[in-house]
DNA sequence: AGAGTCACTTGTATTTTGCAATTCACTATT
DNA sequence: AATAGTGAATTGCAAAATACAAGTGACTCT
């Protein structure tokens, strides 16, 4: 993980946005909270991330220390991406987003309880 | 407010991201929570949003119903942008982001109590 | 050897964001 | 009346991010 220090400002909201303020990072976080860990699994999600974006997002998330690349099979070598504690710390943000989304966009899915209540 | 219905997916997180998942909307939200309402005031923030982006973001936020354009002076006509209830509902997300940012990026500002505790 | 699988990488088009300069509607001053 | 000033944008173009389609590399299995 490289520690950027050229933030737009020292505001924690602004700094946070520089880490995960794009269209995909929080979607991948959601998938990881739901147990997905592998490249191929992330590709299956309904938002249909493309392969190049997925690769760069996973690399950036790893660099920022919110996910970690880990060997889970050695023949052939295969890696999975798992949440770090720093990444898990983003859970309350996802939960708040679910609440807000469900409240203002009634056709959105209700997330399963195990997701909303995860520590 | 036009109601888009072509979301990437019915996931509330994904839908939320399509409303405020960019580099500026939540920054403007923060400023509004801190009492800023006018074009010129938003331009003063340390992240230095540019005039064209500011204009389009304010228009989009208005279209999505998270802010409202309101006449506050008639000669000459001047408008201010104020949060709607829907916009105010995003406050918990900003608070969570502050907590996470402060925890993982120690040089970030601690937000004033009136911000963190706002209903 | 050949086909298959998983995890990418590459090339190019499209979209979004950023930067600088300019415009518009109006007021205040000369 | 002409000029300058102010707040709120709009316009034109460059740069960066994202999207789409195809291809590659490392390995396994038949």
A22 Cβ within 7 A of any nucleic strand D atom: yes
What is the C-alpha end-to-end distance of chain B, expressed in Å? Answer: 25
Residue B1's pLDDT is 53
Cα–Cα dist A9/A6, whole Å: 8
Contacts with A111 from chain B: Cβ below 8 Å: 12
Angle at alpha carbon of residue B54, lines to B89 and B90, rounded to 5°: 10
The pLDDT of residue B27 is: 98
Rounded Cα gap, residues A75 and B84, in angstroms = 56
Determine if strand D comes within 7 Å of the CB of A24: yes
DSSP state of B5: -
**pLDDT, one tens digit for every residue, chain A (119 residues):** 556 678 999 999 999 999 999 999 999 999 999 999 999 999 999 999 999 999 999 999 999 999 999 998 888 889 999 999 999 999 999 999 999 999 999 999 999 999 999 76
The predicted pLDDT at position B119 comes to: 63
Instruction: Identify the three-state secondary structure at position B68.
Output: strand
Residue B118 pLDDT: 76
Domains identified in chain A and CATH numbers: 12-117 (1.10.10.10)
- pLDDT for B3: 60
Residue numbers of chain B with a pLDDT score lower than 70: 1-5, 119
Q: Which residues, listed in sequence order, are joined to residue B73 by a DSSP beta bridge?
A: B78
What DSSP designation does B46 have? T
């Amino acid at each position: 993980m490289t520690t950027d220090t050229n933030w737009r400002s020292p505001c924690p909201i602004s700094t946070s946005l520089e880490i995960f303020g794009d269209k995909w990072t929080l979607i991948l976080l959601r998938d990881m909270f739901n147990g997905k860990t592998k490249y191929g699994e992330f590709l299956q999600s309904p938002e249909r991330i493309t392969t190049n974006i997925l690769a760069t997002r996973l690399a950036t998330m790893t660099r920022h220390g919110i996910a970690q690349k880990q060997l889970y099979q050695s023949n052939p070598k295969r890696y999975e991406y798992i949440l770090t504690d720093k990444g898990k710390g983003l859970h309350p943000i996802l939960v708040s987003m679910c609440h807000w989304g469900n409240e203002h966009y009634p056709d959105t899915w209700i997330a399963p309880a195990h997701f909303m209540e995860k520590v």
